[in-house]
Structure 1
Amino acid sequence: RMNTFLDAEVPDVAGHLFGRERINLAAVREPFKQAYGPHCFYCGMHLPVNNPVDHVLPWSLVGIDGLANLVLACARCNADKAGALPAVSIIDLVLQRDRDVLEHIASEIQWPTQHDRVVAAALGIYRVQPAGVPTWSGYKKTERLDIAFPPSWT
């Protein structure tokens, strides 16, 4: 194929300019349950059959549907987090997941991982936040942003 660059994981300029359609994340649910267990990433609660798949960095903020930005969540945590910026400690945990596992899932379901894009988006988002801004750290919990000690993914 002559246009192999079209398959590269590059920012979606058209989506940024003209808006994106939300896609159904159901295809991710079962492979994630098999790989990580049927538990909420945030609180550990056992998940029902049709639990939400959550965008860790909010879709409304970055629009990244790659596996590196997705986790299984219970309805309670998913609703409570909504579009909130997650605590840096949550991003640490998300980005520490085994990339080989994510790549295997990606090849099985034909879904991009977009790990580098998630890292770049997280760096951009957290670097411009004022110190002390509240971030979501769990159900009904927040913590103040402190990036005096850079996260492991910088």
Structure 2
Amino acid sequence: MDVQTQRLHRRLFPATRLVFARPVAEVLYEIQGGRCLYCPGSTPLRTPGTGQVDHFVPWSRFSNDAFENLVLVHPSCNGSKNDRSASGQHTEAWAELYGPRMERAVQLSDEGVFTGDPSRTFGLLRTSYDLLPEGFPLWDGRKAAPNPFDEGQREQLDAAVVHIASLLP
């Protein structure tokens, strides 16, 4: 398919968002130690059901439902982040959990519970940040003003990408 046909296909047949089953939230809760990825120092999630499953790399930009792209967060954090890309500090936190998440993704995929695609997720993360223009507003937390993308953010994101790349098979 040429580019024009692909665009038309995406417009006519948009991807469908999944509703995640409770076991996904439970596994994320376990991996994240009951903490919201976006505000780990605040109130812990009481149970997996009190959090919401969010796409770290925004689904609206890249429809990727792979397990490694999912995080458990407070509903208020999820609503605040919406479809924005997270700042470097959140990407670093996500990268720290990427190894355990990837191991669990492979296990869940083998069990037929969920699908994982670590290489694709990593590629989408890298591409989404590589294409950001200087000054692009990144989400930095539910109570923070957008953080403009700059050289410091680039360094944080690059470090997270290098860390994740070292974990890929």
TM-score bracket for the superposition, by shorter chain length: 0.7 to 0.9
Q: How does 1:4-153 map to 2 (within 5 A)?
A: 17=10, 18-26=13-21, 27-44=23-40, 45-48=43-46, 49-108=49-108, 110-141=113-144, 142-147=146-151, 148-149=154-155, 151-152=158-159, 153=161
* 2-structure distance, mates of 1:100, 1:77: 23
* 1-structure distance, mates of 2:37, 2:17: 22
For these two proteins, the number of residue pairs brought into alignment is 141
Q: Give the structure-2-normalised TM-score.
A: 0.72
- Superposition CA RMSD, Å: 2.4
Q: Give the structure-1-normalised TM-score.
A: 0.78
Does the CA contact (< 8 Å) of 2:67 and 2:116 recur in 1?
yes
Give the 3-state SS of the residue equivalent to 1:107 in structure 2: helix
* 2-structure distance, mates of 1:104, 1:57: 19
Give the 3-state SS of the residue equivalent to 2:61 in structure 1: helix
Structure 1 stretches of 4+ with a deviation exceeding 6 A read: none
* 1-structure distance, mates of 2:96, 2:76: 24
- Pick closer, same or farther for the CA change 1:133–1:52 going to 2, 3 Å: same
More helix by share: 2
Q: Provide structure 2 residue ranges, at least 5 long, that are not aligned to the other structure.
A: 1-5, 163-169
Partner amino acid for 2:150? Answer: D
Post-superposition offset of 1:112:
2.5
Q: Out of 60-69 and 141-150, give the one that drifted further.
A: 141-150
Name the % identity. 25
Match of residue 4 from structure 1: none
Q: Deviations over 1:2-44 (max 9, x none)?
A: xxxxxxxxxxx8xx73311111123310111123222211112
* 2-structure distance, mates of 1:88, 1:120: 17
Partner amino acid for 2:45? Answer: L
Post-superposition offset of 1:92:
2.6
Does the CA contact (< 8 Å) of 2:55 and 2:70 recur in 1?
yes
* 2-structure distance, mates of 1:22, 1:30: 19
* 2-structure distance, mates of 1:28, 1:123: 24
